[in-house]
Amino acid sequence: MSKVTYFSGETFPLEMHKVRIIQKLTLLPIEERLRAIEEAGYNTFLLQNKDVFLDMLTDSGVNAMSDRQQAAMLTADDAYAGSATFARLHAKLNDFFGTRYFLPAHQGRAAEHILAKHFVKPGTLVATNYHFTTTKQHITALGGEVVELVDHAGVEVVSDNRFKGNVDVAAFERLVAERGAANFAFFRMEAGTNLIGGQPYSLANLRAVSEICHREGIPLVMDASLLADNLYFIKTREPECADWDIHDIVLAMANLCDVIYFSARKLGFGRGGGIVTNDQALYEQMRAWVPMYEGFLTYGGMSVREMEAITVGLDETLDEDMINQGPLFIAHFVTEMDKRGIPVVTPPGGLGAHVDAMRFLDHVDQRQYPSGALAAAVYLASGVRGMERGTLSEQREPDGSERISDMELLRLALPRRVFTLSQIQYAVDRIFWLYSNRQIVGGLKWVEEPEILRFFYGRLTPVGDWQHELVAKFREDFGDSL
Ligand code: F0G
C-alpha cells in the first residue's frame, strides 16, 4: 500500500512523479459516440482513438515513459548488427533476471511464436495457470492443447484470496499422472494473470510448480509480461517477502524457471519483447528462428530507441514507488465502483479494473456477449474505451460450437502513469449511471465473425434497439452535458 497515510483517515493513491508532457483529449457528445461505435461494429478494438476520451483498452505499449527513458532514447546506437544499445539491454536483462542468454523479439506474441515452434508438437500439451489469447493461438495452431490449472479461487469473481493466479498443485500432479510427463511441451506460469483480472501468484506457488516440473522433466516457462504488478503483490501480500528487495523477488522467481519471456510493451514501460534463459542448448536451438521471423539477433524487430527505453524501464520496475502506481490506482478505481454496488473483480489486481458483466448485465445471455455489450455501452455512456474479456475473446470449439467463457469481464486497463485520479472519478460516475440504467442494455450479435482472434476484427450489432434508448436516457438525465 501507499507509504503515506492521511490525517483525515481517507485513503487514496499518491503519484510519486509529476507530469511534464500532456496530450489534449476530446470528449465527444453521446450522439457522436453512437456514430463512432456503430462505425466500429460495436467492437471497441475498431474505434478510432480520436473518438475516445479515456483509452483504457490496454496497458500495452501505452504506458507513459519517464524523463530518464526519453533521455536514453536519444543516446541509442543505431546499427543493424552489434549495436551498443543491444549490449546494454542484454546486460540489463542478465542482471535483472540473473540469466545469460537473450533472444530479442518485436513483441510478446513473437516470443510466444518462437517458443511454440520449439516446444509444441501435435498432440503435446501445455499446462498453464490460465491461458492468454495469443499464447493459446500459437499453441493450438501447432496442434498442441492448452490445459488450465488455476486454483478454483481464480475464477471466482468476488474473493478474498490474495493470489488468485495460483496453480492448483494437486490438479497438476493428477494431470501428470493421467497424461504422462513426456507429453507436456512445457508448463506456462503467467505472472499477473491477465484474463482473470490481472491476478498474481505467490512465490510459494511458483516454487511448488517448479518442484513438480523439475522432478518430472517438464520445462517451466514464465510469461513475465505482467511481472511488475505480480512483484508488487508478492512484496505486499506474501509475508515471507515483506522485507525483501524487489530485485531479490525477481531473482528468486527467475531461478525457479527454465525460460522467461515477456512483452516489453508491458514489462519495462517500452515496446518490444524477448526470451531469456540460462540453457545454452535451448538458446542455440531457438536462435535459428529469430532472424527468420523477427530480425537480426541484435535487434529482433525492435528499434534501438525502444531497446534503450526498456533498459531504463527495467530499472524503474525495481523501484517500488514506480510499480505501486498501477496497483494503487486500480485498487482505488475498484473500491470506488464497489462502494456504489457496481459488480467488480476482487481483490483488485494489476493491469486494470475489471467489471463483472455477468452480474452487471445478468439479463443478457452469454451467447449474446454481455461483456462485449457492456464495453460498447460504457463507451456510449462515457467515451471510455475498455476491452471485452469474455466469451467473445474465446475461440469457437473445433466443431463450431461456442466456447462459453468462465468469466464475463469488462477490462478497464490503466496504463501506468497516464491517468489522473479525477479522470478515474469521472469514469466511476458514468459507469455508476450506466449501472443504474443497466436494464436498458441488451446483447450483441455477429455481423461479421472472423475465424481467428475474432475479437480483434469482428463486427457486431445490438440485439434490439437498446443503443438508441440509452442515448435518449442519457439526454434525459444529463441535459446537454457531454
Ligand atoms: N502475455 C501476456 C500476459 C499479455 O498480457 C500479452 C499482451 C502478451 C503475452 C502478448 O504480448 O501484445 O506484446 O504481443 N497483452 C495485451 C493486452 C495485448 O492488452 O492485454 P504482445
Q: pLDDT tens, position by position, for the chain (482 residues)? A: 567 889 998 888 999 999 999 999 999 999 999 999 999 999 999 999 999 999 999 999 999 999 999 999 999 999 999 999 999 999 999 999 999 999 999 999 999 999 999 999 999 999 999 999 999 999 999 999 999 999 999 999 999 999 999 999 999 999 999 999 999 999 999 999 999 999 999 999 999 999 999 999 999 999 999 999 999 999 999 999 999 999 999 999 999 999 999 999 999 999 999 999 999 999 999 999 999 999 999 999 999 999 999 999 999 999 999 999 999 999 999 999 999 999 999 999 999 999 999 999 999 999 999 999 999 999 999 999 999 999 999 989 989 999 999 889 999 999 999 999 999 999 999 999 999 999 999 999 999 999 988 999 999 999 999 999 999 999 999 999 99
Residue 274, all three cell numbers: 524477448
- How many Å lie between the centroid of ligand 1 and the Cα of residue 199? 14
- How many Å lie between the centroid of ligand 1 and the Cα of residue 479? 40
- How many Å lie between the centroid of ligand 1 and the Cα of residue 295? 20
- How many Å lie between the centroid of ligand 1 and the Cα of residue 275? 14
Taking the CA of residue 192 as reference, the ligand 1 atom at the shortest distance is: 3
Taking the CA of residue 57 as reference, the ligand 1 atom at the shortest distance is: 19
pLDDT at residue 414, rounded to an integer = 97
Ligand 1 cavity residues, CB under 6 Å: 58, 60, 107-109, 132, 134, 190, 194, 223, 225-226, 263, 265, 273
pLDDT at residue 2, rounded to an integer = 64
Residues assigned a catalytic role: 80, 132-133, 223, 266, 389, 455
- By alpha-carbon position, which residue is closest to atom 4 of ligand 1? 225
Overall fold of domain 2-59+322-478? Aspartate Aminotransferase, domain 1 (3.90.1150)
Q: Choose one of 196, 265, 410 to mutate for the ligand 1 pocket test, by most ligand atoms within 8 angstroms of C-beta.
A: 265
- By alpha-carbon position, which residue is closest to atom 9 of ligand 1? 108
- How many Å lie between the centroid of ligand 1 and the Cα of residue 75? 28
Task: Tell how far CA 133 is from the center of its chain.
Answer: 10
Q: Which residues contact 168 (CB under 8 A, 6 or more apart)?
A: 149, 150, 151, 152
Q: Choose one of 130, 131, 132 to mutate for the ligand 1 pocket test, by most ligand atoms within 8 angstroms of C-beta.
A: 132
CATH 3.40.640.10 is right for the domain spanning 67-321: yes
Taking the CA of residue 193 as reference, the ligand 1 atom at the shortest distance is: 3
Instruction: Report the predicted TM-score, pTM, of the whole model to 2 decimal places.
Output: 0.95
Q: Which residues make up the CATH 3.90.1150.10 domain(s) of the chain?
A: 2-59+322-478
- By alpha-carbon position, which residue is closest to atom 2 of ligand 1? 225
Taking the CA of residue 134 as reference, the ligand 1 atom at the shortest distance is: 10
Q: Choose one of 109, 195, 262 to mutate for the ligand 1 pocket test, by most ligand atoms within 8 angstroms of C-beta.
A: 109
Of 312, 351, 128, residue with least CA distance to 233: 351
- By alpha-carbon position, which residue is closest to atom 5 of ligand 1? 194
Q: Which residues make up the CATH 3.40.640.10 domain(s) of the chain?
A: 67-321
- How many Å lie between the centroid of ligand 1 and the Cα of residue 266? 8
